[in-house]
Amino acid sequence: MVTDGSSAFDLVVVTAANAAQARGYRSQLKGRVGFVVVPDPGGRRVGSLGATVNVLRLLSTARGGRRLSRVLICHSGGDARRTPGYAAMGKAFVPLGDGRPLVDHIVEAMAKLPAKAGVTVCCGDLVPRLDFRAVEWAESGVTGVAYPDGPWQAQRHGVYLTEPSQAPDGARWQSAAVGNDGLMRVVGFLQKPQVRRGRFLIDTGILHFDWATAAKMRRLPIAGDIYEEFPRLLLEGFAPFHVAVVPSCDFFHIGSSRELLEKLGSGDEGHLTLVDSVAAPIERMDGDNIVTNVPREYGPIRLGKGECLTSLPLGRSGWYHLRYHIDDNFKADGLWEKHGLGEKMKKVHHSRLIALRHAPSGGCRVTAPVRIDFAGGWSDTPPICYREGGTVLAAAVTLDGKRPIEVTVTPRRDALVKVVSRDLGKRRLIRSAAEIADHHDPHDWCCLVKSALAVTGFRFGSRGLDITISADLPKGSGMGTSSILGSATIAALLGTVDVNRVGELTLRLEQEMRTGGGWEDQFAGMTPGLKLMRSKPGRKQSIAIEGIRLPARFERALKARSLLYFTGQKRMARNVLRRVLGFYADNPHNFGKILIDSVKKGAEKAARAAQRGDLASFAACVNEYWRDKKLLDAGSTNEHVDDIIDMIRPRVAAVSLAGAGGGGFMYILAKSPADARAVREFLERNSPSRHSRFYDFDIDSQGMSLVAL
């Protein structure tokens, strides 16, 4: 693959610190037309001026029988000590959001500069973002590129002084002619001056010189920094020295592991993670984690807050697994030397590293139960929970002995994403980032997966995926299917079942899909058993989960008397959701708030009744919940549902539709085991719909689970 920008240059030269680093760069550029890698001579760094002179000495003005016109030298000879996760690859090869390495973006940016014959020099660890049309090269000599900014930037970069210029006077001076754009003669250059006020012409790191100047530069010693020693030579008369001033500029720059995570990681603030080329299964990441180049044989990855991991393939079979902290500074705190990384980087087997990066990472399969809500629903839904806090009693359940939700994510060898819905019998091949961004239509069967890709920060082009989803129960069931399927997809994409993180991202997924919804479904499906889930008022919903232990006698009685019946009536929960939220917002006579208080208290009462084994009180709470749901929205039931309830009422102690209601599954608690059998026999003989049927169910004791493939 050739980058779009490389064709603007006859040659792109990437410099390296030594032969070992050069081998790694060449491995990653293999197959690229128009790129060469030149290591510093003598196996040691010679500085950016020395590296430039070395390239110019090696570079003939004729190549393949034709003269070179435009050459780009991209200096990439650093150790990347402040970003150890990518030190083995080199900072220029960090993959950005589109999956392409940083060097591709640098070359594309440089290709926008004026097409004048000569040599352009730039830094290999940043992409300048400026109005390239405003740049003008001088007829001869050397031209830099600068932009005006304040003292904070001046203290961190080189500063051009132009004519007319005010000479330094202690700490009180500034670059003259700052308000003027265009080409100016340089009369001074300072490196990181300690200034406190004023406007200054800040160096962008871009230099251009004509071929006559390049020929003179070949006679210079191979040593020195092109941003320090070279300006002094130019000011002494080595060649004409100008600067092209553009109105403004900023940079995409990755200076540290923390910046790397903030710019390329996924997740929420405080829980960002960056996972790249990892074949080992990830069991836990507590946030602020970078994991790169880890082989399957490492075993399960478990990282606490701020812990990071990278692996170096040494020789033909060895590995060095480097664990570090997100804020470790290997450049300043001696860790580079402590781990002997200078020598280890020379022994990195780049073919093995590239094989790991290009090989499909291990996939995973996530399975999950669905849920039955017994009391408290609607209190978990924003904005209700933001104002009131939520309290819900629900159980994770299997249906017909199976966990109905399953998501499998496996790698592809190309960079596309194929989505298969096993229960719908549909498939789609996603070919662009734009398709993922188009994820707001809930009627699109692929909307959920595209939203999951979006909220997990998936970068299209960084890797290919096969995603298979399945929900083995009727649509519109009221069993939390959509939310739990969404959370299972998120968990599979992240490679971890982190309940809090996956739950928060699922709430965001529903907002992206514009279906709305609360936190009950995903947390009820991810965690095992019967539980009482609570949150406090506030925009940040933190869910506390209390597992409810059932007395053995109560559990047996509940199982013998409980039935789960699909009514045959499908509905879309978001329609009910809109009406309930509208009712709560209008709050006639404070009735909306009263009902939410009632469902929350009912959840607490139902949980305590279950704990003490009081089945009669538990049944009363379920009935009160069904009453409150109908008061919140009359659409929670309909004539079809009411007819079913009327037919079985004499034998029923409690009944409620699962979830938002309006159809879907009906939970029935019969008055006795004999009544449960009679209800089942009656409805099987007198089915109100050809889609109606009973499902055997059990309380699930595991919750959502992930298995590495």
Asked if pLDDT for residue 644 goes beyond 60, the answer is: yes
- Helices and strands: H and E segment counts in the chain: 22, 34
**CA-CA distance, 395 to 326, in Å (whole number)?**
38
Neighbour-count burial for 618-640, b at 16+ CB within 10 Å, e otherwise: bbbbbbbbbbbbebbbebbbbee
> Other CB atoms closer than 10 Å to residue 680's CB: what's the count?
16
Q: Which band of pLDDT confidence, cut at 50, 70 and 90, is reported for residue 188? A: very high
Cβ atoms of 515 and 535 closer than 8 Å: no
Q: Which residue has the tokens 């871009």?
A: 206
Q: Which band of pLDDT confidence, cut at 50, 70 and 90, is reported for residue 182? A: confident
**CA-CA distance, 637 to 647, in Å (whole number)?**
15
User: What pLDDT, on a 0 to 100 scale, did the predictor assign at position 46?
Assistant: 92
Asked if pLDDT for residue 669 goes beyond 50, the answer is: yes
Asked if pLDDT for residue 489 goes beyond 70, the answer is: yes
- Cα distances (Å, whole numbers) of residue 408 to 284, 422, 465, 468: 19, 11, 10, 5
Class of domain 366-699: alpha beta
Q: Is 500 helix (H, G, I), strand (E, B) or coil?
A: helix
Q: Which band of pLDDT confidence, cut at 50, 70 and 90, is reported for residue 174? A: very low
For residue 524, how far is the Cα from the chain centroid? 24
**CA-CA distance, 683 to 692, in Å (whole number)?**
9
Provide the token pair at 113.
């500069």
Q: Which band of pLDDT confidence, cut at 50, 70 and 90, is reported for residue 627? A: very high
Of 665 and 689, which is predicted with more confidence? 665
Q: What is the pLDDT of residues 95-150, one digit of tens each?
A: 887 678 999 999 999 999 999 999 999 999 999 999 999 999 999 999 999 999 99
Closest CA to 667 of 617, 612, 621, 703: 621
Q: Among 145-159, 373-387, 429-443, which stretch is predicted with the lowest mean pLDDT?
A: 429-443
User: What pLDDT, on a 0 to 100 scale, did the predictor assign at position 589?
Assistant: 80
User: What pLDDT, on a 0 to 100 scale, did the predictor assign at position 2?
Assistant: 35
Asked if pLDDT for residue 201 goes beyond 80, the answer is: yes
Neighbour-count burial for 553-570, b at 16+ CB within 10 Å, e otherwise: ebeebbeebbbbbbbbbe
Of 586 and 130, which is predicted with more confidence? 130
Q: Is the peptide bond prior to 247 cis by the omega test (within 30 degrees of 0)? A: no
Of 232 and 180, which is predicted with more confidence? 232
User: What pLDDT, on a 0 to 100 scale, did the predictor assign at position 361?
Assistant: 59
Q: Which band of pLDDT confidence, cut at 50, 70 and 90, is reported for residue 4? A: very low
Q: What is the pLDDT of residues 230-265, one digit of tens each?
A: 999 999 999 999 999 999 999 999 889 999 999 888
**CA-CA distance, 637 to 660, in Å (whole number)?**
9
> Other CB atoms closer than 10 Å to residue 88's CB: what's the count?
26
Cβ atoms of 180 and 15 closer than 8 Å: no
**CA-CA distance, 394 to 404, in Å (whole number)?**
17
Where do the CATH 3.30.230.120 domains begin and end in the chain? Answer: 366-699
Tell me the pLDDT of the chain averaged across its residues: 89
Question: From its phi and psi, is residue 646 left (phi > 0), alpha (psi between -120 and 50) or beta?
Answer: alpha
SS3 labels along 321-379: EEEEECCCCCCCCCHHHHCCHHHHHHCECHHHHHHHHHCCCCCEEEEECEEEEEECCCC
Asked if pLDDT for residue 169 goes beyond 50, the answer is: no
* β strands within 68-151, DSSP E: 70-75, 118-123, 126-130, 142-149
**CA-CA distance, 594 to 38, in Å (whole number)?**
74
Q: Among 319-328, 513-522, 529-538, which stretch is predicted with the lowest mean pLDDT?
A: 513-522
Q: What is the pLDDT of residues 355-373, one digit of tens each?
A: 887 665 568 899 999 999 9
Of 354 and 675, which is predicted with more confidence? 675
Asked if pLDDT for residue 167 goes beyond 50, the answer is: no
